[in-house]
Amino acid sequence: MNIFVDADASPVQEEVIQIASKFNLEVTLVKSFSHYSHTNQASNVKTVYVDKGADMADFEIIKRARKGDLIVTQDYGLASLGLGKGCLVIHHKGFQYTDKNIDRLLTTRHASALARRGGLRTKGPKPFTEEDRKKFILLLQKLLTESSL
């Protein structure tokens, strides 16, 4: 199993790296060149840079991901594509995307986009909290433990 992180705006990159190293798993951080960093990463971490543009990181992750890999993203479209490839997909707020919830999430996203195009204001996502971080860590550890059995 490899772990792919949609890393441009992910607040849980360090947690993913730390937990993955305990399971001897590789982590691939995918981000645009506008987020370039000279930071040295652990030996199990690879950073892939993509051109700036809508969905460039998403396309790169889907190109590289294989059945059974794990994807960390807040993007519902990428989550849907990952599920279609047989990947485990989780959100940084600590919930897992599934075949049962992805249609509802995509429908809600579409309805909000239509409302915004119609001139309505919609609420943005709630701020990321320490409680979200704890939920994410527990979910990631649970999934990795289950997959290593």
Is the pLDDT at 3 greater than 90? The verdict is: yes
Condensed to tens digits (0 to 9), the pLDDT of residues 99-143 reads 998 888 877 766 777 777 888 777 777 899 999 999 999 999 999
> What does the alpha-carbon distance between residue 149 and residue 147 come to, in Å, rounded to a whole number?
6
Q: Where are the domains of the chain?
A: 2-98+129-148
Q: What pLDDT, in 10s, does the model give residues 20-77?
A: 999 999 999 999 876 777 777 889 999 999 998 778 999 999 999 999 999 999 998 9
Q: Which CATH architecture has domain 2-98+129-148?
A: 3-Layer(aba) Sandwich (3.40)
pLDDT digits (tens, 9 = 90+) for 70-96: 999 999 899 999 999 999 999 999 999
E strands, the chain, in order: 2-6, 26-32, 45-50, 70-72, 88-90, 96-97
